[in-house]
């Protein structure tokens, strides 16, 4: 890496057919595994935090194979923010909703749903997964852009 | 209970990797040593029957953190080093050595792995969770039952901390959106 003289856009990127093909084959399975960990965390090791990180790592794999800048254009920025912000909102609403219905915070049983506790925990795990996946993806792109990105954008204004 | 060969090998690997991460002068080498350390620790967690923690360590420590560190040195300077290892000063060695001694002194007091009479297992709180978790929350993984059920408010706090970390990074790097 030290022989790369100047950091330009995608300067780190080396196009490799092997990596692109491998990622194309592996990525769907990794994402499936992430969702499995997220939803099956209630009955086996795992949960929202771990599943969210693995889901975020899937996108990093894609960025590794196809270039960070082209992945940045491909990814919907609003979706990443919605995952993170929406996750917090869903978690807080599920918790406060039970207070509104007369229980204490996150007392799932007050929801008039079949197996409310089980599905409530699944929903909360999914919300956590969204937060973690969104933030991990966000941190990746923000750090990849670095400070110079912000400065150059400010100069354009 | 004497440690098995696999455990000893793992502990040795983790120690070497940790020393490498601390002492290697080249940043890239140090990051790779740090990733190896995380991977070793995550396998140790699995052996210690904490698969939830092991998964987190492997995904966050060995995976995402390594990548973020690599991005960070790619974005900043990576000075070329002549020496392979850092030469820590006597003060640093003394402080680190004393800290290791203090920590190591607590090891003989720890219960054996999986001992049924250890304070954690026989504790009132643990017994309550193990006995009632499934009936109360209808999930089989007691760790999840505690995280998202009994201690839900704490977990909301944790999740908000993660969210805040993302927002703080945006603020520090003066950006308005993640992508």
pLDDT at A9: 47
Name the residue facing A131 among B56, B152, B159 (closest C-beta): B159
Residue A33 or A103, more confident: A33
Whether residue A30 is contained in a domain is answered as: yes
Q: Place A8 in a pLDDT band, splitting at 50, 70 and 90.
A: very low
Number of domains in chain A: 1
Whether residue A112 is contained in a domain is answered as: yes
Q: What is the mean pLDDT of chain A?
A: 83
Q: Is the model's pLDDT at A45 over the cut of 60?
A: yes
- What is the ipTM score, two decimals? 0.82
CATH code for the structural domain at B1-87: 1.20.120.1200
How far, in Å, CA of A43 to CA of B51, rounded?
13
pLDDT at A152: 64
Name every chain B residue with its beta carbon within 8 A of the beta carbon of A124.
Answer: 148, 152, 155
B5 in contact with A, Cβ within 8 Å: no
Instruction: Give residue A134's domain range.
Output: 17-156
Which chain A residue lies closest to B57 (C-alpha atoms)?
A50
Q: Domain coordinates of chain B in residue numbers?
A: 1-87, 123-179
Please give the helix or strand (H or E) that residue A150 lies within, else none: helix A116-156
Mean local confidence (pLDDT), B59-82: 84
The CA R_g of chain A, rounded to the nearest whole Å, is 19
B148 vs A105: CB contact, 8 Å cut-off? no
pLDDT at A149: 60
Q: Is the model's pLDDT at B80 over the cut of 80?
A: no
C-alpha distances in Å from residue B164, one per residue of A99, A136, B80: 25, 12, 35
Q: Place B142 in a pLDDT band, splitting at 50, 70 and 90.
A: confident
Which chain B residue lies closest to A92 (C-alpha atoms)?
B156
């Amino acid at each position: 890496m030290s022989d790369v003289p100047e950091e330009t856009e995608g300067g780190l990127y080396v196009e490799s057919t092997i990596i692109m093909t491998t990622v194309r084959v592996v990525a769907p399975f990794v994402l499936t595994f992430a969702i499995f960990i997220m939803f099956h965390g209630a009955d086996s090791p795992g949960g929202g935090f771990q599943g969210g990180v693995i889901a975020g790592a899937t996108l990093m794999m894609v960025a590794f194979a196809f270039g960070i800048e082209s992945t940045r254009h491909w990814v919907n920025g609003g979706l990443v923010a919605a995952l993170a912000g929406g996750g917090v909102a869903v978690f807080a609403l599920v918790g406060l909703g039970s207070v509104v219905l007369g229980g204490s915070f996150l007392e799932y049983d007050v929801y008039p749903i079949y197996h409310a506790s089980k599905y409530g925990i699944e929903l909360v795990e999914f919300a956590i997964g969204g937060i973690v996946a969104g933030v991990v993806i966000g941190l990746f792109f923000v750090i990849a852009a670095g400070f110079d990105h912000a400065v150059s954008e400010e100069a354009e204004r | 209970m004497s440690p098995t060969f696999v455990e000893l090998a793992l502990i040795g690997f983790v120690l070497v990797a940790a020393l490498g991460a601390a002492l290697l002068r080249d940043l890239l080498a140090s990051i790779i040593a740090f990733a190896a350390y995380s991977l070793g620790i995550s396998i140790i967690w699995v052996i210690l029957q904490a698969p939830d923690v092991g998964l987190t360590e492997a995904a966050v420590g060995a995976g995402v953190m390594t990548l973020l560190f690599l991005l960070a040195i790619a974005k900043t300077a990576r000075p070329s080093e002549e020496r392979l290892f850092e030469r820590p000063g006597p003060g640093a060695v003394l402080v680190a050595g004393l800290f290791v001694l203090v920590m190591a002194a607590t090891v003989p007091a720890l219960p054996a792995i999986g001992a049924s009479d250890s304070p954690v297992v026989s504790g009132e709180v643990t017994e309550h969770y193990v006995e009632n978790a499934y009936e109360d929350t209808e999930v089989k993984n007691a760790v999840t039952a505690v995280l998202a059920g009994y201690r839900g408010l704490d977990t909301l706090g944790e999740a908000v901390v993660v969210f805040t970390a993302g927002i703080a990074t945006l603020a520090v790097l003066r950006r308005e959106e993640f992508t």
